[in-house]
Structure 1
């Protein structure tokens, strides 16, 4: 029997036109519905929460695969490339996912009110994890989904619901890791600064020494902490960003292979094509043609 959250999302999706995912009128909130298993899709994720109300998905981050089912959520605390796949869905029992952005500023504000504060002294874990979305968190998610039926109430009610979600995440088993990502100061904050610098300059040749300096770390410590947080080495992360952006340029803007390759920082279109096929499973022209037909 569907849960109240699944019923709310089912009602919402049945009123929609077009293709999933559905961008809702609630800021930062989307709903995904899949009536059949879907092939893997490459995206740049986070910070966000992807809560499964029905069905099941997995996400792959740098070779690390996380499975999450009804009542569980994938929490992404740091912007990172990923591959996602719906693997449990069928007509009559579609996979239903409520996705909403995590505001690190709100997380920080809530974290600063906690007494005692979240324990963050343990060695940092990854910036992506699966957690059970039950108890008070499930109640928050249901209230958020029900706002889709009364969007006029969203400006007054959504901010409070999101703050409550932040509270329960911080008070939960992964609270220390979430608090570390939201802190204004400290090693994780400096690491986030380096991550932002890499995202902003992904088209350029980047020296790891410069990124380590931004992070206030040695090169070896930076490599270790960067991979622990994102599941990628800095160069792997940069390559993923380049290829995802090149794909977007070709699909959405009609750029040819050579133009897209040079635009994202490749000097050799042939190298670009090899690395593109390795990531997406087909050469650029064939992959783009497939995506346009599917759309």
Structure 2
């Protein structure tokens, strides 16, 4: 019975932990630790198992976030969240498919661990301030203040992107075609004048250490990495062979369309676009090989 209760709530717990941590790997560790705590409890004596498990998981995630904050500050280049596949049919990610877009998770990285936990539990899971206060060990008025600060920060920091999925997918597909064809003019036509590109290679893959700003600089960078020489340099940087079937295509990542670059069906880079008014405003490029494990395999078209 104890095992069944935990498995019924596993996806919810993974959703809580992932949103608080921005890392599926860390979230998985937290959920496993929550299971160890749960296995020592007499489930029959717990009035609301779901609430109990969410409380335990949230506390564990907050503690882990505090520990990893320093490591992320020492990260080589920008740190971006670990992408997850939200392709239809991947039931293990059903609870993650809503409101886990990369732009939001990037902004959540700027919150304190308590602010982030309060925001996630309130905005994503609809918990009351009283319930959240019990999770974080704060009085209800303090919890409300944390929630207000977090909401204001997210509102001010989150880019204003279009939410129309069809439009995002259309722009993503045009973006892929322009990159594959080395069509610099096509890229320039898609990018806004003040577009920014944020790359995450973690010191383990070729990616820009600094944010690239401006349409001409971003377009030249993308055209360069899409060239044969650019691809060879990237594969060498992550220790992958230059031979094999190389492809790129659209996929559902973090609840929205993204471009996924693959080698033999294995994801090696994720490119997520922030689109507004039909133009690309922000590009998140994730190439750290340690962040590719939760994407599964893809069938993408060759360049």
Higher relative contact order (CA 8 A, sep 6+): 2
TM over 0.5: no
What TM-score, normalized to structure 1? 0.31
Answer 1 or 2: which has greater strand percent: 1
